[in-house]
A and B are shown apart, each in its own frame.
Chain A
Amino acid sequence: MLPSALHAERRGTVATGIRKDGSLARARIAAAVIGILAVVTGAGALADTHERRRADLTELPIEALLQIEVLGASKFPQRITEAPSAVSLVTREDIQTFGYRTLGEALASVRGVYTTNDRNYRYLGIRGFARPGDYNTRALLLVDGYRINDNIYDYAPIGLEFPLDISLVERIEFVPGPSSSLYGSSAFFGVVNVVTRRAKDISSELSWYRESFRADGLRVNLGRRLDSGLELTLSASAHASDGPNPRFEEFAAINDGVASGLDFEHATKIYGRASRGAWTLSFGASERRKGIPTASYSTAFNQPGSETTDAYQFADLRYYAPRGERADLLLRVQYADYRYRGRYAYDVPPIVINHDEARGTFWGGEAQLLYRWTELHKLVAGLELRRNSRQEQRNFDVEPAAVYLDDLRRSHQLGLYVEDEYRFRPDLILNAGIRRDERSGFGGSTSPRLALIHLPTEGSAVKLLYGRAFRAPNAYERYYAVPGPGGQKTNPELSPEHIYTWEAVYERSSATARFAGSLYYYRIEHLISLTVDPADGLPVFRNIDRVHTRGAEIEAERHFAGGVRVRGSLALQSAVSGGNWLDNSPRRLAKLFVSAPLFGERLRLGFEAHHIGDRTGRAGGVGGYTVANLALTGRVAPGLELSAGIYNLGGKKYFDIGAPDHVQDRLPQDGRTARVQLTARY
């Protein structure tokens, strides 16, 4: 992610703007598609209204019975009410209804969560914490329970570099706050678990889409369940886009501030899963190549050659089966390999391409036992091992040859955890967990967690939560160093960060409505920050900051007659360090979602609006803004589905905050864009 800052660069200043360059045309096409869709499907019959009749349900095929809803039952999954945290779910239906294209867009719909974009990577802000320059190291990203964060930067990929295609997602479970007592380091601000679709739900799918900025995508998903019980899933997808030509006022002296042809993005992914009985094997590989138009790290502006490639490979084997009547055993083994290749074009002069590379490989294993002592008492105990067989960072120039960094490490980690759930009254659950982690070079850390859950009525819960978690410095923070002026130096004395959290949650759901509210206070100690050593002026990571974050969140959802759903959330948060607001931390986040069927069930509309409040940053920060998206999905023929989406409906000009590696104080985001997608299913 980071090159050497050895090479110099000049700067400029003038007004900003983005050339829409074809995105407006795409938006018009999408709007036309939406109109045609509405007319075509509107010609279909309107649904009949309800009439109570004693139907003989035994006359219906069993497939139809599975679609019928139980009168009076809540639509909201009940199991999460008893979880020792506030869980948010984004389902596959949400992803399709609102037209989410990446994991980041889906996560941005969760209350208290926001994402930012520097046209190279996307960053996750949870509860007011998203410092410019951080790489999502404090969020743990899992796919079916397997860790995706690499072992160099601990980066959680939420854009198109995420190794799994969005169409394979069954649901996303988001748990805010530290869950270190189960998961160890990186589960600091939250855990995201992406659950994949079952093979039998997939059948055969072929999908093609076209987006603004000459973007195209193609994906194939196959799922089969054989009579022998073997379930197979295979998926392949590709995306290619030219991207816009954004304009940055700071560089007005070069090409009028326009970076041409540098915001491109190409991604390919493959994924497979085979499961039978207790065994599941999953594997995949992905690669994403992204151009950098922002001239970050003092690279030459509007100069081709600056780009990053992120590649993931993984294979996981899991065994999960009951052991007798009281116990479930989980055993798993994981292999993961992450490669980063950065190319940065510096105008020394002449143009020199700096190579910044990293490779992280790890093997992991876990054994977990769930044991039910009694109907009221459940215990989970586990052991997790990880061997980081390679943690390599390099930085060098080829022409003329020079090597600035060549660091190779190995390390290992061991985690032991226990969690006990005791329901000592039908309406009162106590959940206590503790985890001990040993990391080579760091000694040990202990992370306890306590939750008291009171269930006053069916479907409602009051939860009091306390937790302490830690995050060990990653290989990048410890070992990345480039010598000389403009470089960066290491700090082998770095110790882990700690977070103490207190939270109170209230949740309630009925057949048609759901409400959730949280109050929280987080105290973070020894936060690892990039500072400048006064002795030599070099940037170095130190444990220096103490941060206090406090906030309140509420969320409400209601299902109306006719299938209309409305959901809204508001988060008020304040993240303060040393008496100052944290950078890139909005004090207010508000979201609204409306989804409705049109013309019977043939068309589905999804409308969402996000409001992000003012954020401080360099040169005063950026103002608050509201962005809305609209999506329509409809079946145009048996097995053929058409969807259209318009993103940033109002064409709002809004900005994200520049990070230390940017000349720009603020980065302009895209205006109105659109996507049209055709999916064939059989």
Chain B
Amino acid sequence: MRAALVVALGLALGTPGALAQREPEAELKAAFVYNFAAFTQWPPEILGTMENPLTLCVVARDLDPALARLAGKQAHGRSFAVRRVEPRGSLAGCRVAYWPGTSADRFERTAATRAGLLTIGDGAEFRRRGGMIQMTIDAARIVFDIDIDAAKAAGLRFSSRLLRLARAVHGDYDD
């Protein structure tokens, strides 16, 4: 019996198992921002013609290269354009706005509620403050919470695939 134990433990410790894939936070979050935009439905009149880019405004002091690399990616048949906006700066022309890290503290719902603007932010308070999609880290993984009411107020809808994967979905479902 003891021998079996030793063998089992030796197997366990000796075998190189697969490493769980780990990526830097900024890269992962940029990929999520891209996916959130891809799974959001805008009213067609807001997006306009196919030439119009899907503008992502990053509200921060610095633009992380991972977010900058989203420029040119395709979603809804359009290309992403990525722009940096000063905290409290104008969000005119933005289709998606993202408040990364501590800039989420300065998110103000009244300034950010615009028809056709998808708001995404980091931290546990973003959704409560009126944001539409909030990203946090739980046990080393990214999880996101969605507020349907805030999205509806801006004329936006989310695909059911996205809603299924959210950790929590807040708001009224009646259509």
Contact = CB atoms under 8 A, between A and B. Distances in A.
Contacts of B129: 325
Contact of B25 (A38, A72, A229): A72
6 contacts: A49-B16, A67-B141, A72-B24, A200-B164, A598-B15, A599-B17
A229 B169 contact: yes
A563 B19 contact: yes
Contacts of B16: 46-47, 49, 562
A65 B28 contact: yes
A564 B13 contact: yes
Contact of A564 (B12, B18, B20, B137): B12
Interface residues of A, number: 54
A57 B23 contact: yes
Interface residues on chain B, size class: 35 or more
Given A46-B16, A55-B23, A596-B13, 10 more contacts: A31-B4, A47-B18, A58-B70, A63-B165, A69-B140, A72-B25, A77-B139, A597-B18, A599-B17, A651-B1
A47 B139 contact: no
A170 to B, nearest CB: 12
A55 B23 CA distance: 9
B139 to A, nearest CB: 5
B1 A650 contact: yes
B111 to A, nearest CB: 15
The 6 closest A-B pairs by CB, nearest first: A47-B18, A596-B12, A229-B173, A57-B31, A597-B17, A73-B140
A637 interface: no
Contact of A58 (B39, B73, B141): B73
A60 B30 CA distance: 12
A71 B22 contact: yes
B46 interface: no
B69 to A, nearest CB: 8
Interface in A594-628: 594, 596-601, 605, 607, 628
Contacts of B173: 228-229, 276-277
Contacts of B28: 57, 65, 68, 70
Nearest to B124: A79
Interface in A74-104: 74-77
A598 B138 contact: no
A535 interface: no
A292 interface: no
A15 interface: no
A402 interface: no
A58 B31 contact: yes
Contacts of B2: 650
Contacts of B50: none
Contacts of B172: 277
A76 B138 CA distance: 8
